């Protein structure tokens, strides 16, 4: 619509290479919190340089935001791993108690 308002004509023959989605590659291991913090600080330091383009500022802010979110999510993940470990331990203890109770009632 904006192109029409400006009086521009779309060239139907043009071969545009435009993509709105990115194929994500899953990492084998999660980055450490230290690595993520280093990226955050590097992006913060880079923002202090004068003369950055709006695109570069936006990219650096995105890195800072992503690093901040990652810190929260990795903490949640680690907490979930701890909860899972406790549940597995409790399940094993409960199964052992049931077996022992079964042996006691047969005796």
pTM score, two decimals? 0.57
- pLDDT per residue, tens digit, the chain (107 aa), is 777 778 877 676 666 565 567 788 999 999 999 999 999 999 999 999 999 999 999 999 999 999 999 999 998 888 888 888 899 999 999 999 998 888 777 66
Domains of the chain, by residue range, sit at 31-106
Question: Residue 33: which residues within 8 A CB-CB, separation 6 or more?
Answer: 71, 74
Q: Which residues contact 17 (CB under 8 A, 6 or more apart)?
A: none
Cα 91 to Cα 86, 88, 95, 100: the distances in Å are: 9, 5, 6, 14
Q: Give Cα 7 to chain centroid, integer Å.
A: 43
């Amino acid at each position: 619509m904006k192109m029409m308002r400006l009086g521009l004509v779309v060239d139907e023959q043009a071969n545009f290479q435009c993509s709105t989605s990115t194929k994500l590659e899953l990492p084998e291991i999660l980055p450490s919190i230290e690595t993520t913090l280093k990226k955050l600080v590097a992006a913060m330091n880079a923002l202090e340089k004068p003369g950055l383009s709006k695109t570069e500022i936006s990219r650096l802010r995105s890195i800072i935001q992503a690093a901040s979110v990652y810190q929260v999510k990795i903490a949640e993940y680690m907490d979930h791993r701890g909860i899972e470990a406790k549940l597995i331990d409790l399940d094993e203890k409960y199964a052992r108690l049931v077996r022992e109770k079964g042996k006691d009632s047969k005796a």
